[in-house]
Structure 1
Amino acid sequence: MSLAPLQQRLSVPSRQLGAPGPDAAQLDALLEAAVRVPDHGRLTPYRLVLVRGDARQRLGEATAEIHARNEPGAPAGALAKDRERFNQAPVIVVVVARVTAGHKVPEIEQVLTSGCIAYNLLLGAQALGFGAQWLTGWAAYDRDVASLLGLAANESITGFVHIGSVLQPAPQHPRAALADVLGEWQG
Protein backbone atom coordinates (compact mmCIF):
# COMPACT_ATOMS: atom_id res chain seq x y z
CA MET A 1 0.00 0.00 0.00
CA SER A 2 1.25 3.47 -0.83
CA LEU A 3 0.39 6.95 0.38
CA ALA A 4 1.82 8.40 -2.83
CA PRO A 5 -1.56 9.70 -4.12
CA LEU A 6 -1.93 11.78 -0.96
CA GLN A 7 1.72 12.75 -0.72
CA GLN A 8 1.80 13.91 -4.36
CA ARG A 9 -1.59 15.65 -4.44
CA LEU A 10 -1.57 19.18 -5.77
CA SER A 11 -3.99 21.53 -7.41
CA VAL A 12 -3.36 22.56 -10.99
CA PRO A 13 -4.59 26.12 -11.64
CA SER A 14 -7.65 26.01 -13.88
CA ARG A 15 -5.96 28.28 -16.42
CA GLN A 16 -3.33 25.51 -16.86
CA LEU A 17 -5.94 22.86 -17.71
CA GLY A 18 -7.22 22.03 -21.17
CA ALA A 19 -8.50 19.32 -23.46
CA PRO A 20 -8.79 16.49 -23.47
CA GLY A 21 -10.73 15.88 -20.31
CA PRO A 22 -11.90 12.55 -19.03
CA ASP A 23 -13.85 10.50 -21.55
CA ALA A 24 -17.35 9.27 -20.65
CA ALA A 25 -16.15 6.06 -18.99
CA GLN A 26 -13.43 7.86 -17.01
CA LEU A 27 -15.84 10.57 -15.91
CA ASP A 28 -18.44 8.03 -14.77
CA ALA A 29 -15.79 6.10 -12.83
CA LEU A 30 -14.45 9.31 -11.30
CA LEU A 31 -17.89 10.50 -10.21
CA GLU A 32 -18.83 7.07 -8.83
CA ALA A 33 -15.64 7.00 -6.77
CA ALA A 34 -16.02 10.62 -5.64
CA VAL A 35 -19.39 10.05 -4.00
CA ARG A 36 -18.02 7.27 -1.77
CA VAL A 37 -17.78 9.60 1.19
CA PRO A 38 -18.72 9.53 4.87
CA ASP A 39 -22.45 10.24 5.04
CA HIS A 40 -23.73 10.26 8.63
CA GLY A 41 -27.39 9.31 8.60
CA ARG A 42 -27.24 8.38 4.90
CA LEU A 43 -28.83 11.70 3.98
CA THR A 44 -27.00 12.07 0.67
CA PRO A 45 -26.50 15.76 1.49
CA TYR A 46 -25.01 16.56 -1.88
CA ARG A 47 -25.49 16.50 -5.60
CA LEU A 48 -23.35 17.23 -8.62
CA VAL A 49 -23.92 19.46 -11.65
CA LEU A 50 -21.72 18.96 -14.73
CA VAL A 51 -20.78 21.94 -16.88
CA ARG A 52 -19.15 21.02 -20.21
CA GLY A 53 -18.90 22.14 -23.81
CA ASP A 54 -20.61 25.40 -24.75
CA ALA A 55 -22.35 25.51 -21.37
CA ARG A 56 -19.03 26.63 -19.86
CA GLN A 57 -19.06 29.84 -21.91
CA ARG A 58 -22.75 30.41 -21.17
CA LEU A 59 -22.09 30.02 -17.43
CA GLY A 60 -19.24 32.54 -17.64
CA GLU A 61 -21.37 35.06 -19.51
CA ALA A 62 -24.25 34.66 -17.06
CA THR A 63 -21.86 34.97 -14.12
CA ALA A 64 -20.45 38.20 -15.54
CA GLU A 65 -23.98 39.56 -16.00
CA ILE A 66 -24.83 38.75 -12.38
CA HIS A 67 -21.62 40.38 -11.19
CA ALA A 68 -22.32 43.53 -13.22
CA ARG A 69 -25.88 43.69 -11.89
CA ASN A 70 -24.76 43.19 -8.26
CA GLU A 71 -21.84 45.60 -8.57
CA PRO A 72 -22.61 48.23 -11.22
CA GLY A 73 -19.12 49.74 -11.00
CA ALA A 74 -17.30 46.42 -11.29
CA PRO A 75 -14.00 46.80 -13.17
CA ALA A 76 -14.03 45.57 -16.76
CA GLY A 77 -11.13 43.23 -15.94
CA ALA A 78 -13.15 41.51 -13.22
CA LEU A 79 -16.07 40.99 -15.59
CA ALA A 80 -13.74 39.65 -18.27
CA LYS A 81 -12.34 37.20 -15.71
CA ASP A 82 -15.90 36.10 -14.90
CA ARG A 83 -16.60 35.48 -18.59
CA GLU A 84 -13.50 33.31 -18.95
CA ARG A 85 -13.41 31.53 -15.59
CA PHE A 86 -15.05 28.33 -16.86
CA ASN A 87 -13.46 28.13 -20.32
CA GLN A 88 -10.14 26.38 -19.69
CA ALA A 89 -10.89 22.96 -18.19
CA PRO A 90 -13.14 20.80 -20.37
CA VAL A 91 -15.14 19.55 -17.37
CA ILE A 92 -16.38 21.47 -14.36
CA VAL A 93 -18.18 19.61 -11.61
CA VAL A 94 -20.25 21.88 -9.41
CA VAL A 95 -20.37 20.18 -6.02
CA VAL A 96 -23.55 21.13 -4.22
CA ALA A 97 -24.26 20.77 -0.50
CA ARG A 98 -27.90 19.84 0.13
CA VAL A 99 -28.60 20.50 3.81
CA THR A 100 -31.51 19.05 5.74
CA ALA A 101 -32.11 21.62 8.49
CA GLY A 102 -33.24 20.41 11.88
CA HIS A 103 -32.01 16.86 11.31
CA LYS A 104 -30.13 15.02 14.06
CA VAL A 105 -27.06 15.11 11.78
CA PRO A 106 -25.57 18.58 12.30
CA GLU A 107 -25.59 20.83 9.26
CA ILE A 108 -21.81 21.19 9.35
CA GLU A 109 -21.44 17.41 8.95
CA GLN A 110 -23.71 17.51 5.94
CA VAL A 111 -21.64 20.28 4.34
CA LEU A 112 -18.40 18.46 5.14
CA THR A 113 -19.71 15.45 3.24
CA SER A 114 -19.94 17.56 0.10
CA GLY A 115 -16.44 18.88 0.75
CA CYS A 116 -15.18 15.30 0.86
CA ILE A 117 -16.64 14.80 -2.62
CA ALA A 118 -14.78 17.83 -3.95
CA TYR A 119 -11.55 16.51 -2.46
CA ASN A 120 -12.17 13.03 -3.87
CA LEU A 121 -12.60 14.62 -7.29
CA LEU A 122 -9.16 16.20 -6.95
CA LEU A 123 -7.53 12.92 -5.91
CA GLY A 124 -9.43 10.89 -8.49
CA ALA A 125 -8.67 13.23 -11.37
CA GLN A 126 -4.97 13.09 -10.54
CA ALA A 127 -5.11 9.28 -10.24
CA LEU A 128 -6.55 9.17 -13.77
CA GLY A 129 -3.71 11.33 -15.08
CA PHE A 130 -5.60 14.63 -15.17
CA GLY A 131 -5.21 17.83 -13.24
CA ALA A 132 -7.90 19.50 -11.17
CA GLN A 133 -8.58 22.57 -9.07
CA TRP A 134 -11.32 23.20 -6.51
CA LEU A 135 -12.40 26.84 -6.78
CA THR A 136 -15.00 28.94 -5.05
CA GLY A 137 -14.78 32.71 -5.40
CA TRP A 138 -17.70 35.06 -5.11
CA ALA A 139 -19.83 33.02 -7.53
CA ALA A 140 -19.91 30.03 -5.17
CA TYR A 141 -21.62 32.15 -2.51
CA ASP A 142 -24.01 34.12 -4.70
CA ARG A 143 -27.71 33.16 -4.58
CA ASP A 144 -28.29 34.37 -8.14
CA VAL A 145 -25.57 32.02 -9.40
CA ALA A 146 -27.09 29.25 -7.28
CA SER A 147 -30.49 29.92 -8.87
CA LEU A 148 -28.92 29.97 -12.32
CA LEU A 149 -27.60 26.46 -11.65
CA GLY A 150 -30.99 25.27 -10.39
CA LEU A 151 -30.15 25.06 -6.70
CA ALA A 152 -32.94 24.93 -4.14
CA ALA A 153 -33.07 27.16 -1.07
CA ASN A 154 -31.44 24.46 1.09
CA GLU A 155 -28.56 23.99 -1.35
CA SER A 156 -25.28 25.84 -1.70
CA ILE A 157 -22.20 25.54 -3.87
CA THR A 158 -19.32 23.80 -2.13
CA GLY A 159 -17.07 24.44 -5.09
CA PHE A 160 -16.42 24.34 -8.79
CA VAL A 161 -13.99 21.49 -9.50
CA HIS A 162 -12.23 22.09 -12.82
CA ILE A 163 -10.82 18.92 -14.46
CA GLY A 164 -8.68 18.54 -17.57
CA SER A 165 -5.31 17.70 -19.03
CA VAL A 166 -2.35 19.47 -17.48
CA LEU A 167 -0.97 21.93 -20.05
CA GLN A 168 1.98 23.04 -17.93
CA PRO A 169 3.38 21.80 -14.63
CA ALA A 170 1.57 23.00 -11.55
CA PRO A 171 3.47 25.11 -9.07
CA GLN A 172 4.56 23.47 -5.83
CA HIS A 173 3.55 25.45 -2.76
CA PRO A 174 5.08 25.22 0.69
CA ARG A 175 3.13 22.98 3.02
CA ALA A 176 2.83 23.29 6.77
CA ALA A 177 5.40 21.27 8.66
CA LEU A 178 3.75 18.48 10.58
CA ALA A 179 5.50 19.61 13.76
CA ASP A 180 3.77 23.00 13.42
CA VAL A 181 0.25 21.59 13.27
CA LEU A 182 0.40 18.38 15.33
CA GLY A 183 -0.28 18.17 19.01
CA GLU A 184 -1.14 15.32 21.33
CA TRP A 185 -3.69 15.44 24.10
CA GLN A 186 -2.65 13.33 27.05
CA GLY A 187 -5.54 13.88 29.40
Structure 2
Amino acid sequence: MVDSERLDKRLKRLERRRSAAPLQLSAPGPDAETLRRLLTIAMRVPDHGKLEPWRFIVLEGDARIEVARQLAATYIVENPNEDANKRDKQITKIAAIWAAAPVVVIVVSRANSEAKKPEWEQILSAGAVCMNLLTAATLAGFDGVWLTGWAAYNEAAKRILGVVPHERIAGIIHLGTENEKQKDRPRPDYDALVTRWRSQ
Protein backbone atom coordinates (compact mmCIF):
# COMPACT_ATOMS: atom_id res chain seq x y z
CA MET A 1 0.00 0.00 0.00
CA VAL A 2 1.27 3.48 -0.92
CA ASP A 3 2.16 5.75 1.99
CA SER A 4 0.31 8.84 0.73
CA GLU A 5 2.06 11.25 3.11
CA ARG A 6 5.49 10.04 2.06
CA LEU A 7 4.52 10.11 -1.61
CA ASP A 8 3.15 13.64 -1.27
CA LYS A 9 6.41 14.83 0.31
CA ARG A 10 8.48 13.38 -2.55
CA LEU A 11 6.22 14.78 -5.24
CA LYS A 12 6.21 18.23 -3.64
CA ARG A 13 9.99 18.29 -3.81
CA LEU A 14 9.82 17.54 -7.54
CA GLU A 15 7.00 20.04 -8.02
CA ARG A 16 9.33 22.72 -6.63
CA ARG A 17 12.32 21.67 -8.77
CA ARG A 18 13.67 24.42 -10.94
CA SER A 19 16.92 25.17 -12.70
CA ALA A 20 19.32 27.04 -10.46
CA ALA A 21 21.09 30.18 -11.63
CA PRO A 22 24.53 28.76 -12.52
CA LEU A 23 26.46 31.59 -10.87
CA GLN A 24 24.54 31.08 -7.62
CA LEU A 25 25.65 27.48 -7.22
CA SER A 26 28.34 26.84 -4.62
CA ALA A 27 29.44 24.20 -2.12
CA PRO A 28 28.37 21.85 -0.81
CA GLY A 29 28.00 19.60 -3.79
CA PRO A 30 27.70 15.83 -3.88
CA ASP A 31 30.72 14.01 -2.44
CA ALA A 32 32.36 11.15 -4.35
CA GLU A 33 30.07 8.42 -2.98
CA THR A 34 26.90 10.46 -3.51
CA LEU A 35 27.96 11.49 -7.01
CA ARG A 36 28.56 7.84 -7.87
CA ARG A 37 25.02 7.05 -6.76
CA LEU A 38 23.58 10.00 -8.68
CA LEU A 39 25.36 9.02 -11.90
CA THR A 40 24.30 5.39 -11.44
CA ILE A 41 20.70 6.56 -11.10
CA ALA A 42 21.15 8.84 -14.12
CA MET A 43 22.03 5.78 -16.22
CA ARG A 44 18.74 4.04 -15.37
CA VAL A 45 16.98 5.36 -18.46
CA PRO A 46 15.25 3.81 -21.46
CA ASP A 47 18.03 2.48 -23.70
CA HIS A 48 16.64 0.60 -26.70
CA GLY A 49 19.05 -2.22 -27.52
CA LYS A 50 21.19 -1.65 -24.40
CA LEU A 51 23.58 0.48 -26.48
CA GLU A 52 24.61 2.85 -23.65
CA PRO A 53 24.78 5.74 -26.14
CA TRP A 54 26.13 8.20 -23.58
CA ARG A 55 28.98 8.68 -21.12
CA PHE A 56 30.07 11.17 -18.46
CA ILE A 57 32.99 13.53 -17.96
CA VAL A 58 33.22 14.82 -14.37
CA LEU A 59 34.94 18.06 -13.38
CA GLU A 60 35.67 18.83 -9.73
CA GLY A 61 38.13 20.95 -7.78
CA ASP A 62 40.97 22.53 -9.74
CA ALA A 63 39.87 20.77 -12.94
CA ARG A 64 36.98 23.26 -13.23
CA ILE A 65 39.36 26.22 -12.99
CA GLU A 66 41.78 24.76 -15.53
CA VAL A 67 38.98 23.98 -17.98
CA ALA A 68 37.62 27.52 -17.57
CA ARG A 69 41.09 28.94 -18.28
CA GLN A 70 41.56 26.82 -21.40
CA LEU A 71 38.07 27.55 -22.70
CA ALA A 72 38.54 31.30 -22.21
CA ALA A 73 41.84 31.20 -24.11
CA THR A 74 40.22 29.18 -26.89
CA TYR A 75 37.30 31.59 -27.12
CA ILE A 76 39.75 34.44 -27.80
CA VAL A 77 41.45 32.47 -30.58
CA GLU A 78 38.12 31.39 -32.09
CA ASN A 79 36.65 34.92 -32.10
CA PRO A 80 39.47 37.27 -33.20
CA ASN A 81 37.15 39.83 -34.80
CA GLU A 82 34.63 40.11 -32.00
CA ASP A 83 34.26 43.47 -30.26
CA ALA A 84 36.78 43.55 -27.39
CA ASN A 85 34.20 44.51 -24.75
CA LYS A 86 31.80 41.79 -25.85
CA ARG A 87 34.63 39.24 -25.94
CA ASP A 88 35.83 40.21 -22.45
CA LYS A 89 32.30 39.83 -21.06
CA GLN A 90 32.00 36.41 -22.66
CA ILE A 91 35.37 35.27 -21.29
CA THR A 92 34.42 36.45 -17.79
CA LYS A 93 31.11 34.61 -18.08
CA ILE A 94 32.79 31.39 -19.24
CA ALA A 95 35.27 31.47 -16.37
CA ALA A 96 32.60 32.24 -13.76
CA ILE A 97 30.10 29.60 -14.85
CA TRP A 98 32.62 26.75 -15.05
CA ALA A 99 34.12 27.61 -11.66
CA ALA A 100 30.92 28.30 -9.67
CA ALA A 101 29.39 24.88 -8.98
CA PRO A 102 31.54 22.38 -7.08
CA VAL A 103 30.67 19.57 -9.50
CA VAL A 104 30.18 19.76 -13.26
CA VAL A 105 29.05 16.69 -15.21
CA ILE A 106 29.26 16.67 -19.00
CA VAL A 107 26.78 14.21 -20.47
CA VAL A 108 28.16 13.06 -23.80
CA SER A 109 25.85 11.63 -26.45
CA ARG A 110 27.58 8.97 -28.51
CA ALA A 111 24.74 7.83 -30.73
CA ASN A 112 25.72 5.25 -33.33
CA SER A 113 24.07 5.93 -36.69
CA GLU A 114 24.99 2.43 -37.88
CA ALA A 115 23.29 0.64 -34.98
CA LYS A 116 20.08 -1.27 -35.65
CA LYS A 117 18.18 0.92 -33.20
CA PRO A 118 17.07 4.40 -34.33
CA GLU A 119 19.66 7.13 -33.79
CA TRP A 120 16.93 9.48 -32.60
CA GLU A 121 16.09 7.11 -29.73
CA GLN A 122 19.75 7.02 -28.74
CA ILE A 123 19.85 10.83 -28.63
CA LEU A 124 16.67 10.92 -26.57
CA SER A 125 18.25 8.44 -24.16
CA ALA A 126 21.13 10.88 -23.55
CA GLY A 127 18.59 13.63 -22.84
CA ALA A 128 16.86 11.32 -20.39
CA VAL A 129 20.20 10.81 -18.62
CA CYS A 130 20.50 14.59 -18.15
CA MET A 131 17.02 14.87 -16.66
CA ASN A 132 17.45 11.77 -14.51
CA LEU A 133 20.63 13.26 -13.06
CA LEU A 134 18.89 16.54 -12.21
CA THR A 135 15.94 14.69 -10.66
CA ALA A 136 18.23 12.48 -8.57
CA ALA A 137 20.21 15.52 -7.43
CA THR A 138 16.98 17.27 -6.43
CA LEU A 139 15.84 14.31 -4.33
CA ALA A 140 19.31 14.19 -2.74
CA GLY A 141 18.89 17.80 -1.63
CA PHE A 142 21.12 19.53 -4.20
CA ASP A 143 20.43 22.17 -6.81
CA GLY A 144 21.49 22.07 -10.42
CA VAL A 145 21.12 23.35 -13.94
CA TRP A 146 21.35 21.75 -17.38
CA LEU A 147 23.26 24.01 -19.78
CA THR A 148 24.95 23.77 -23.16
CA GLY A 149 26.31 27.05 -24.52
CA TRP A 150 29.26 27.85 -26.73
CA ALA A 151 31.52 25.08 -25.39
CA ALA A 152 28.98 22.41 -26.30
CA TYR A 153 29.06 23.31 -30.00
CA ASN A 154 32.56 24.58 -30.67
CA GLU A 155 34.91 21.84 -31.91
CA ALA A 156 38.04 23.26 -30.25
CA ALA A 157 36.18 23.63 -26.94
CA LYS A 158 34.85 20.09 -27.20
CA ARG A 159 38.40 18.78 -27.65
CA ILE A 160 39.46 20.55 -24.46
CA LEU A 161 36.60 18.84 -22.63
CA GLY A 162 37.59 15.41 -23.96
CA VAL A 163 34.77 15.00 -26.47
CA VAL A 164 35.80 13.22 -29.65
CA PRO A 165 34.55 14.15 -33.17
CA HIS A 166 31.69 11.63 -33.47
CA GLU A 167 30.28 12.62 -30.05
CA ARG A 168 28.03 15.51 -29.04
CA ILE A 169 27.38 17.19 -25.73
CA ALA A 170 23.83 16.50 -24.58
CA GLY A 171 24.17 18.62 -21.48
CA ILE A 172 26.57 20.28 -19.08
CA ILE A 173 25.07 19.70 -15.64
CA HIS A 174 26.25 22.00 -12.85
CA LEU A 175 25.55 20.64 -9.36
CA GLY A 176 25.85 22.26 -5.95
CA THR A 177 23.79 24.23 -3.47
CA GLU A 178 21.99 27.40 -4.47
CA ASN A 179 23.16 30.25 -2.26
CA GLU A 180 20.10 32.37 -3.00
CA LYS A 181 16.73 30.83 -3.74
CA GLN A 182 14.99 32.21 -6.81
CA LYS A 183 11.33 32.79 -7.44
CA ASP A 184 9.73 30.22 -9.65
CA ARG A 185 8.99 31.14 -13.24
CA PRO A 186 5.57 30.73 -14.89
CA ARG A 187 4.93 27.08 -15.68
CA PRO A 188 3.11 25.46 -18.62
CA ASP A 189 -0.69 25.32 -18.54
CA TYR A 190 -1.74 21.71 -17.96
CA ASP A 191 -5.13 22.11 -19.64
CA ALA A 192 -3.63 23.74 -22.72
CA LEU A 193 -1.11 20.95 -23.28
CA VAL A 194 -2.81 17.74 -22.16
CA THR A 195 -5.46 16.11 -24.35
CA ARG A 196 -6.98 12.67 -24.35
CA TRP A 197 -7.22 10.79 -27.61
CA ARG A 198 -10.68 10.18 -28.97
CA SER A 199 -11.70 8.23 -32.04
CA GLN A 200 -12.60 10.51 -34.94
After TM superposition, the score normalised by the length of structure 1 is: 0.94
Shift of 1:46: 0.3
Identify the residue that residue 33 of structure 1 maps to in structure 2. 41
AA paired with 2:100?
Q
Larger helix proportion, structure 1 or 2? 2
CA displacement, residues 21-59 of structure 1 (integer Å, 9 cap, x when unaligned) = 111221111111111110001000000000111111111
AA paired with 2:65?
Q
Q: Aligned-pair RMSD on alpha carbons?
A: 1.4
Identify the residue that residue 4 of structure 2 maps to in structure 1. none
- 1:30-179 to 2 correspondences below 5 Å: 30-74=38-82, 75=86, 76-179=88-191
Q: Which structure 1 segments of 5+ residues have no match?
A: none
Contact 2:54/2:126 (<8 A) preserved: yes
Shift of 1:176: 0.9
Aligned residues: 187
Q: Which structure 2 segments of 5+ residues have no match?
A: 1-6
**1-side partners of 2:184 and 2:23: how far apart?**
16
Which ranges of 4 or more aligned residues in structure 1 deviate by more than 6 Å? Answer: none
Contact 2:14/2:138 (<8 A) preserved: no
Identify the residue that residue 17 of structure 1 maps to in structure 2. 25
**1-side partners of 2:26 and 2:45: how far apart?**
28
Determine which structure has more spread, i.e. the larger CA radius of gyration. Answer: 2
**2-side partners of 1:71 and 1:114: how far apart?**
30
AA paired with 1:185?
W
Identify the residue that residue 3 of structure 2 maps to in structure 1. none
**2-side partners of 1:36 and 1:9: how far apart?**
20
**2-side partners of 1:25 and 1:170: how far apart?**
28
Shift of 1:186: 1.8
Shift of 1:185: 2.8
Shift of 1:152: 2.1
**2-side partners of 1:103 and 1:132: how far apart?**
33
Q: Identity rate of aligned residues, in percent?
A: 37
Q: 1:154 to 1:165 in 2, by over 3 A?
A: same
Shift of 1:6: 3.2
AA paired with 1:6?
L
- Aligned: 1:7 with 2:15: yes
Contact 2:14/2:139 (<8 A) preserved: no
Q: Which stretch of structure 1 is more off in the superposition, 143-152 or 156-165?
A: 143-152
